[in-house]
Amino acid sequence: MNSYSWSYKLLHWLSAFLFILMCFAFIGFYPQMSDADRTVMLIGHASIGVCLAAILLIRIGKRFVLKHPRPKHTQSTALTTMAKAVHFAMYVFMVLVPLTGYTTANFHYLPVQLFGSVLLNGNHDPELFNTFRAIHVLCIQALIVLVVLHSGAAIGHKLVLRDKVLYSMRPWFAQTKKKYKA
């Protein structure tokens, strides 16, 4: 097998797209926002976050529970170890970001809404909100660093190593007809 299944690719690229949207939301929070603007931003942020969390659960199920087949690539032990470490860390932070986000939201004064519907109305506690928000931001920053490493490695496989690793997750979802040797 030299390519991921269409479902793996779809989940990967959908996650990437939503992650980029979340980065814009992360940039968009600033103290001068009115409560009305902040509410709209938080609804979008929470809605995308819940979608990402659902996709993450499916990805975890496919990879670690169902153990769907993945392509095998011939590369050095060091590269394989680094790839596994970065992927594992990415999964850890992809779990921590929504968990800390949800916990942070529970201590915010505005109700948490998903696509405009109230999901929960937590206990407003400014001290706990600030603590969990700081943890949430650190988790986001760590995930961004890992995504940059992951993206850089993909580009490195294409431009430096000139192997076919990048082809296994290319964004179109059809199966590969050509057989590539990795």
155-167 pLDDT tens trace: 888 889 888 787 7
26-75 pLDDT tens trace: 666 777 778 788 778 888 888 898 899 999 999 999 988 988 877 787 88
Q: Sign of torsion, CA 154 159 160 165? A: positive
Give the residue with greater pLDDT, 76 vs 134: 134
Inter-residue contact 3 to 176 (CB < 8 Å): yes
- The CATH number of domain 6-169 is 1.10.3470: no
pLDDT of the residue at 182: 44
Task: Give the bridge partners for 147, in sequence order.
Answer: none
Q: State the pTM of this model.
A: 0.83
Domain limits, the chain: 6-169
